[in-house]
């Protein structure tokens, strides 16, 4: 895969912290950013795949879109009929 440069602007404190963390992890800030962005892209792809699967399952599900044969009054007993 071809690699290209990407320029970003960060606060000085963030850069300093990132460099310290990179040294502690025996890596580079560039590698940490690349890994993070790969994970974000993979999460987005997995979400989209799961969404499409769920939509497909819902479209193929049975028992949906049927006839409603109840009334609101049947669902909520507000006490009106309790003492009749």
∠ CA(77), CA(78), CA(82), 5° rounding?
A: 75
∠ CA(35), CA(41), CA(44), 5° rounding?
A: 140
Instruction: Report the percent of the chain where pLDDT is more than 90.
Output: 67
Report the pLDDT value the prediction gives residue 74, as an integer from 0 to 100. Answer: 79
21 versus 62: the higher-pLDDT residue is 21
Residue 8's closest CA among 28, 25, 33, 35?
33
Q: Tell me: pLDDT of 17 over 70.
A: yes
Q: Tell me: pLDDT of 83 over 60.
A: no
For 65, the 3-state DSSP assignment is coil
How many Å apart are CA 21 and CA 33, to the nearest integer? Answer: 12
Q: What φ, ψ does residue 25 adopt, rounded to 5°?
A: -95, 5
Q: Tell me: pLDDT of 84 over 60.
A: no
């Amino acid at each position: 895969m071809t690699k290209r440069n990407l320029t970003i602007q960060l606060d000085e404190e963030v850069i300093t912290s990132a460099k310290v963390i990179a040294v502690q992890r025996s890596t580079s800030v560039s590698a940490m950013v690349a890994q993070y962005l790969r994970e974000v892209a993979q999460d987005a792809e997995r979400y989209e795949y799961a969404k499409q699967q769920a939509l497909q399952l819902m479209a193929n599900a049975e028992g949906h879109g049927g006839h409603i044969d109840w009334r609101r009054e049947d669902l909520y007993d507000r006490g009106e009929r309790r003492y009749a």
